[in-house]
């Protein structure tokens, strides 16, 4: 859900949220990941995560407004 929000926000802001140059140079499979995130419904995300869309979007806003972010998987 967080990824879905960030991808949508990147598009809404004209590609200024995600470092597309870094992704192009260092990543593979991003397009497939993006397609999967975009195709996943908010209903499924809420059901599977146990979180509301509003809560996920609130976290997403913190993420996209942060000067720096560390992601740990």
Name the token pair of 72.
């740990």
Determine the pLDDT at residue 70.
87
Q: What is the pTM of this model?
A: 0.90
Determine the pLDDT at residue 71.
81
Determine the pLDDT at residue 27.
95
Determine the pLDDT at residue 46.
98
Torsion of the alpha carbons at 17, 32, 36 and 57, rounded to the nearest 10: -10
pLDDT bucket at 22, cuts 50 / 70 / 90 = very high
Residues 13 and 60 sit within 8 Å (Cβ to Cβ): no
For residue range 42-70, list pLDDT tens digits in order.
999 999 999 999 999 999 999 999 998 88
Name the token pair of 23.
């992704």
Q: Which residues contact 52 (CB under 8 A, 6 or more apart)?
A: 46
Nearest-5° angle of CA 18, CA 20, CA 25?
135
């Amino acid at each position: 859900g967080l990824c879905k929000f960030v991808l949508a926000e990147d598009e809404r802001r004209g590609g200024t949220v995600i470092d597309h140059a870094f992704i192009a140079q260092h990543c593979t499979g991003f397009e497939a990941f993006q397609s999967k995130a975009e195709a996943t419904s908010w209903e499924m995300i809420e059901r599977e995560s146990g979180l509301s869309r509003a809560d996920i979007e609130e976290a997403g806003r913190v993420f996209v407004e942060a000067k720096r972010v560390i992601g740990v998987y």
